[in-house]
Amino acid sequence: DAATSFAGVEWGVDETAQRLIHRKLIEPLIIVAVANMGEDRVHEYAPTPGIIDAKASRGKRSKGLAHLYGQFLIQELKPFIDKKYRTKRDAEFTGLGGSSLGALATLAIGILYSEVFTRLIVMSPSIWWDDYAIFRLVGILGEKPPLKIWLDTGTDEPGWELARDLRDYLIDKGWQLDIDLSYLEVKGADHSEAAWARRVEPALRFLFPPEK
């Protein structure tokens, strides 16, 4: 809802999902929108400690608490949702999504907890964070986890080419384009809620196709 969203612009995820479900273009699903903590979101979404504002007198830093945020989702939120609603509880049916630093958290949490989350929407991830820490996290993977990943970026975003590098790195680690990895570059798209809203439909259609 625009009244409660971070930037006052809603993605229309619920309306998009309902339309796609009605047209049988995706499987029926439950979407849980987790409230962000305003300025504190930089602590919860960052996978590693790092500097938020290098221009600040002492350098404003993030505590890098994405792993704890992931534990909250797994230990508190998901059990509550599973108890209250008729869900498919297994990892193969459970996804996570976000944009910007939230997308970075999504990928990091997916890697750390792939036994819980296997479908990831990673929109315009903040790959630059902590000297490209996400590459180090992907790099220490042994066996490729069973993650199906939607990754995208807009060509008017600062450093958008890093998304190409991440795509290629994931492919090097065993992901296959259009099978368990979808990559989209949107010409002229910027780093904004409105831009991400326009990519909800293809992301949902890739990650949650109708059961055959």
pLDDT in tens, 101-121: 999 999 999 999 999 999 999
**Mean pLDDT computed over every residue of the chain:** 91
Contact by Cβ (8 Å): 166, 160:
no
Q: What are 103's two structure tokens?
A: 């997308």
Angle at 64 between CA 8 and CA 126, to 5 degrees: 55
Radius of gyration of the chain (CA): 17
Extents of the domains making up the chain: 13-207
pLDDT given at position 54: 57
Give the residue carrying structure tokens 């590459």. Answer: 135
At 101, give phi and psi (nearest 5°).
-65, -30
pLDDT given at position 55: 57
pLDDT given at position 8: 54
Q: What share of the chain is helix, strand, coil (3-state, %, to 5)?
A: 40, 15, 45
Residues 22-75 have pLDDT tens digits of 999 999 999 999 987 666 778 888 889 887 765 544 557 788 889 999 999 999
pLDDT given at position 64: 85
pTM above 0.85, yes or no: yes
Whether the per-residue pLDDT at 1 is higher than 70: the answer is no
pLDDT given at position 51: 77
Residue 116: left (phi > 0), alpha (psi -120 to 50), or beta? alpha
Q: Where are the alpha helices (DSSP H) in 10-160?
A: 13-22, 41-45, 66-72, 78-84, 101-112, 129-139
pLDDT given at position 184: 99
Contact by Cβ (8 Å): 97, 16:
no
Whether the per-residue pLDDT at 209 is higher than 80: the answer is yes
Taking Cα atoms as reference points, which of 121, 172, 181 lies closest to residue 146?
181
More confident residue, 63 or 160: 160
More confident residue, 2 or 199: 199
Q: Please report, to the nearest 10 degrees, the dihedral formed by the alpha carbons of residues 63, 64, 67, 72 taken in order.
A: 50
Name, in order, each residue with C-beta under 8 angstroms of 52's C-beta and a sequence gap of 6 or more.
Answer: 42, 60, 61, 62
Expressed in angstroms, the distance from the first to the final Cα of the chain is: 33
Class of the domain covering 13-207: alpha beta
